[in-house]
Structure formats: C-alpha cells, structure tokens
Amino acid sequence: MPRRLTIGVLGAGSIGCFVAARLLAADIADVVLVGRPRIRDEIAAHGLTASDFDSEPLHIEPSNVSVATKLSVLSDCDAVLVCVKSLHTEDVATELADVLRPDAVVVSFQNGVRNADTLRRHLRTQTVIASIVGFNVVSKGEGVFHRGMSGDLILEKHHRAEALVEALRAADLDVRSVNNLKPDQWTKLLVNLNNAVSALSGAPTRELLLSPGYRRIVSAIMAEALEVLRAAGIKPARLRGVPVGIMPKVLRLPTPMVRLVTRAQMRVDPEARSSMWEDLSRRRPTEVEFLNGEIVRLAETVGVAAPVNSRIVELVRKAEQANAGPPDIDAASLMERLGIN
C-alpha cells in the first residue's frame, strides 16, 4: 500500500479549500491548510464543505480540518499546493525556501503563466511543478466552497509527482499529466481573460455566455490576445479538443448556437463566477496584471498593440481603487468604454 501523503494547501481560498475537502473526504492524505484568519475562523465555526454541480456535498467537521495562518506548519509536507494569488507568489516563495523539506513537491495551482518559474527561482532543491485548474469554485460562506463548472486538473508530468496525482484522482478529481504544459497554460490564460468582464459587470459565468453583448466583449478581448500570441510565435493548445483560435467567432454566433456549443464543451451552473469578481467583492487586489496585463506586456515586447486588454486593466485597477465592489457595468456601457464597435 502506498505511503500516506501529507499535503499542504497554501492560500486556502476557493480552489484550495475545495480540493482539500475532496482529499479529506476521501481520507487519502493528511491535509493542512494555510489561509487567512477569516478562513480559519469560518471553518472552525462551520466545518469545510465542498459542493458540486453534479454530486452531493461533502462535509468535513471542524475537528477534522487543520487550518493555520503560518507557513511553518508546512515543514513536514510531502507536497504543497500553492493557491495564493499571483501577486503574492514572490513573497511566499521566499518564505517557503526556509520552511520546506528539500524533497518536497510544490505545485502551482495558480492562474497565469509565470508562477511556477517564480517559485523555482527560490526553491532550488524542491521539485516545482506547474499546473492548470480547469474549473471554477466560488466561496459561498459558512465554509462552503462550490464548484460551478466542469473541468480537470492538468499537471506537468514528473516522476516525483506520481503519488500526488494518484491521491488527487482518489479524491474523485479528474487529473491529467502532460510533458509540456506551456501551450495549455496560454489557453487557460486566454479563457481567463473573461474574468475581468465578470468582475466589471457582476455577471455570473452563464450570463456572460448567454448575453450577446458580453460575448461580443469577450470575443474582442480574446481575438486581440490571439493576435498578440501569433506575433510572439506562441501556439496555444486546443480547448477541450477545439482550436482556441475559433473561439472569438463562436462567441459571435447566435445565442442558441452558443448554448449548444458550450453544452458540448462544459457544464456551467448559475452560481459559477470568476475569482476576480470575488476579489472585487471582498475588496481585495485582483490578478488582472497576470491575465489581461500579461497580454499587454507581451504585446509591448513584440511591438504590437493591445488596446482592449489595456483598457480592461485600467478599468479593473479603477474598480480596485474605488474599493466599492464590482462596478456592475452593463454590456453596452462596457463596450463603449473599451472602444468596441
């Protein structure tokens, strides 16, 4: 029988708590979470629950969940899932270097394309692996974390991560391992460009898909990003078997056709929302610089323009500075502000 792993979850937010709950419910590993005092207190009062769009909720009693606020509790972990926001990666990497065992496996469960490289610069002896979380999780309060979208986990293939992959699969998570994750990371970033539209509009993911106005905005953002990637010689992976390059055209189809296409690609329930919307709602800094901002930086590097993504970054920054939650901009007004005809 394989040795029982000790798995740490650093940055126990929506994704981290959902995955931790799955692991704990399967009793497949010892799990320790590191998160904000708010999360610690919430779980201490209510326990930890993972709900899903297609299965019964899994509830873990408070006494069976270990939540700390200091990274030092990760010192004995075999594997650590880094789930902090991208803007905190550099800071936690510096701290982890003084805490983790030399043989620990560290997996970046984060958005963006550069977090694993940032971790590797500081964690010289540990094995650092990039990954993609292909589903969305929303914090509903009282220790409940709800997955509202289908999708899998994709990890870079590494022999030292095999035990972790098996533990995640035993927790009833769909996991794939690939040799080269970069094309998939760029595809995930392209998909995540819509997070800012959700944050600025307040619209759930399903509404973004079914509203012609919001789809037109997402189409323009994605089409511009694809042009930037072409100029940079970057070829993104297929999205669930479909060339990602056709997605802007798909988004401009009539709503009934979009509904048919999206049903074949993924399941999205009415509660699915972007993490950027949640950040604005909780008055926290967002990851826009590591999503739409990544496209803007790449555009500057290769000498092309990315005006729509630049304006998206400006609008999200303005919403952060206002500190009043999502600005709830309707589709017509947002198109006007972005210069989309």
pTM beyond 0.85: the answer is yes
Contact 153, 129 (CB under 8 A): no
Give buried/exposed letters for 175-203 (b at 16+ CB in 10 A, else e): bebbeebeebbbbbbbbbbbbbbbbbbbb
Q: Is 210 exposed, middle or buried (0-12, 13-18, 19+ CB in 10 A)?
A: middle
CA distance 186 to 8: 27
Check if the beta carbon of residue 291 is closer than 8 Å to that of residue 189: yes
The pLDDT of residue 264: 55
Positions of the chain with pLDDT under 50: 1
Cβ-proximal residues to 207 (8 Å cutoff; 6+ apart), any chain: 214
Contact criterion met (CB below 8 Å) for 24 and 1: no
Residue 101, both tokens? 């065992």
Q: Which two tokens stand for residue 19?
A: 């995955």
Reported as type and span, the H/E element at residue 167 is helix 162-170
pLDDT reported for residue 101:
96
Contact residues for 20 (Cβ-Cβ < 8 A; gap 6+): 9, 12, 31, 33, 48, 65
Token pair 């497949």: residue: 28
Q: How many residues does the chain have?
A: 341
Answer yes or no: are the C-beta atoms of 191 and 136 closer than 8 Å.
no
Structure confidence at residue 155 (pLDDT): 97
The 3 state secondary structure assigned to 51-104 is: EECCCCCEEECHHHCEEECCHHHHCCCCEEEECCCHHHHHHHHHHHHCCCCCCC
Could you give the CA distance from residue 103 to residue 122 in angstroms, rounded to a whole number?
14
